[in-house]
Amino acid sequence: MTHIKDPGMKTRQRRAKMLTGISLLAIIPFLILCTFVYPVNDDFTFGLRHIQKNVFQVSSDIYLYWSGRYFATLISALNPFAVSDNPIPLFRIYSAVAIVLTTIVMTLSPAICCRRQLTHCQSAGLGGVFLLTYLALMPSVSQAFYWFSSCTAFTIPSLLYIMLVALTAADSKASYFIACTLALIVPGGNEVTAVITVGTLGYIAFTYHDRKYWLLLTLSAAALLLVVLAPGNASRMANQHIWANAELWALTFSIGQTVSWIFLWGPVLLLATTIYIPLFGRKLASSPIYDVSFSRYLVWFFITIILAHIPPTYGISSAIVDRTANCLLIFVIIGYFHGVNILLRKHRATADRLASLLSGKWIFGASLFCFLFAAPFSINSPVATAVTDIITGKATDYKRIQQQRVDIVRQTPSAEAVKLPPLGITSKSLFVKELESEPDTEFTSAFSRIYKSRVRVYVEDREARFEDNLTALKNYAKKGRVRR
C-alpha cells in the first residue's frame, strides 16, 4: 500500500485561511477605485428611460422594441439618475456593492455545495482560489464593477448563476425554492448567461436524473425562450449588419474563439490546480457525484461554451465582447474544476500521489508563489493595473476630466457645440467607453439631457490610450525625480 503524506488538518486550515486573506487583500484596490467612478454612455440613456416613469411600462417597452433581457431591464430601474438627486455618489456605492457581492458570493458559495467534504474555513479558502483566478483573468474590470449598466446585465446575473449552481447541491425545500426562482431570473440577465444556465442545468439533469433537476432545467429553458423570442430582439437585429451565411460564420467563429480561450485562460487554471488539488480537490473528489463519465462532461463543457458564443456572434456579427466574456469566465472556472474532480475520482491512486507531492511545504510554497505572481499579482494583471492606476494618478486624472465634462455641460447655457476635454492616457481599470466625436448623436445627446442642459457636446479624440503598468510606473518615477 502506498503511503500518502498528509500535511494534516491544521496545515490545510492554515493554508485555506491564508488564501482567503490574500483574496480579500486583492479586492482592496478595486474598492478604492470606486471613489473615482463616473457614469458612462448607457447609464445616461437608461437613466433617461426610467426618470419619472413606471418601471414595468419601461420594461415592457424595451422587451417589445429593443431587448429580451427582462431581468436586467427591471433592475436597471435602480439607475442613480432615476432614483437620486445626487446620482454620482450612488454610482460609486453601486460599484462597491458589486465588488462586495462578488467577493461574498465567490467565497461563500462553496460552503453551500461542499459542506459535506470541506469545513467552513476550507470552503472560504476554495472560494478565495476561485476569486483570485477570476481577478487574474477578468477580460474587463471596468465593465464588471464600474459600469452600472453592465453590472445589471452581466455581473449580477453571473453572481446569481453561481448561487444557482451552489444551491443545486442543497437539500432543503427553501434552497430548492430559491434555486427555482433563480432558474427563472438568471436567463433574463443576458443571452450568454441564459445559454450557460440552461447548459449547466441540462448537464446536471441528464447526468443525475433527479426530478428536481428536470424542473430547474424546464424553468431555465422557458426563461431562455422568453429572452430569445422577445419581439425587441427582431427589431434590434433589423438595424444590425448581418453577414452572408451568418449561421455558418457564427458557428465557425464561435469554435475559433472557444479554442482561443484555452490558450488565454488555460495556463492560469493549470497553476491554480497545483494549489487546488492538495487543499481541496482530493477531498472533494471523494464525493460520488464525480463518479460520472469524463468524456460526456468534456463534450458538454465545450458545446456549452460554443453555444454561449452564438447569440452575440450571430446577433451582431461580432466577437464576444469583454462584459460577456466576464460571464463566460465564471462558467469556465466552475466547469474546469468540476472536470478536475472527475479526473481525480477516476484516477484515485495517481491523484493521491499527486496530492501528496503538492502538499509538501516547499512545493506548495513554490506552487502558491508561481500562481500568485504569474496570475493575480503579475505586472499587468487587473489587480496590478488597479494599484498602478491609483499610484500613478491615472484614476485621479480620469475623475478630474470626467468632472470637468459634467461642469461644462451644467454651466454652458446655450445650445452651441462644445468640445469636451479628452481623457488622454487614462485608467484602464475605470475606462469603459468614450462619447462620440460628433454632437447630436445618441450618447452625446443623452449626456447633455441627463444633466438638463441644451449644450451640444462632442469629444475630438475618441481613442483611449493606455500604458502597460511597468511603463506607467517608470514614467511616474521620472516625473517624481523632475519635481524634486
Domain check: are 208 and 333 in the same one? Answer: yes
Residue 95: inside a domain: yes
Domain check: are 219 and 325 in the same one? Answer: yes
Domain check: are 369 and 439 in the same one? Answer: no
Nearest alpha-carbon partner for 47 in 71, 83, 94: 83
Residue 352: inside a domain: yes
Q: What is the DSSP string of 236-302?
A: HHHTS-PPTTHHHHHHHHHHHHHHHHHHHHHHHHHHHHHHHIIIIIHHHTTSGGG-S-HHHHHHHHH
The answer for residues whose C-beta is within 8 angstroms of residue 218's C-beta and 6 or more apart is none
Q: What confidence score (pLDDT) does residue 139 get? A: 95
Q: What confidence score (pLDDT) does residue 194 get? A: 96
Instruction: Name the domain boundary from 324, 353, 378.
Output: 378
Residue 1: inside a domain: no
Q: What confidence score (pLDDT) does residue 232 get? A: 84
Q: Which three cell numbers stand for residue 375?
A: 496570475
Domain check: are 177 and 237 in the same one? Answer: yes
Residue 3: inside a domain: no
Q: What confidence score (pLDDT) does residue 308 get? A: 94
Residue 4: inside a domain: no
3-state helix, strand, coil in the chain (%, to 5): 75, 0, 25
Domain check: are 173 and 289 in the same one? Answer: yes
Q: What confidence score (pLDDT) does residue 12 get? A: 86
Residue 292: inside a domain: yes
Instruction: Name the domain boundary from 378, 399, 430.
Output: 378
Q: Which three cell numbers stand for residue 448?
A: 447633455
d(CA 382, CA 27): 10
Query: What residue ranges of the chain have pLDDT lower than 50?
Result: 1-4
d(CA 431, CA 130): 25
Domain check: are 149 and 34 in the same one? Answer: yes
d(CA 190, CA 196): 10
Domain check: are 338 and 423 in the same one? Answer: no
d(CA 67, CA 234): 9
Residue 435 burial class via C-beta count within 10 angstroms: exposed 0-12, middle 13-18, buried 19 and up = buried
Q: Whole-prediction pTM value?
A: 0.94
Domain check: are 299 and 181 in the same one? Answer: yes
Residue 383: inside a domain: no
**In the chain, how many domains are there?**
2
Domain check: are 175 and 318 in the same one? Answer: yes
Q: What confidence score (pLDDT) does residue 391 get? A: 97
Domain that holds residue 305: 9-378
Q: What confidence score (pLDDT) does residue 1 get? A: 39
- Other CB atoms within a 10 A radius of the CB of residue 63 amount to 21
Q: What confidence score (pLDDT) does residue 43 get? A: 96
d(CA 223, CA 235): 20
Domain check: are 339 and 393 in the same one? Answer: no
- Other CB atoms within a 10 A radius of the CB of residue 437 amount to 14
Domain check: are 397 and 366 in the same one? Answer: no
Q: Are 412 and 453 a contacting pair, CB within 8 Å?
A: yes
Domain check: are 478 and 357 in the same one? Answer: no
Instruction: Name the domain boundary from 378, 399, 415.
Output: 378
Residue 399: inside a domain: yes
Nearest alpha-carbon partner for 87 in 457, 432, 398, 447: 447
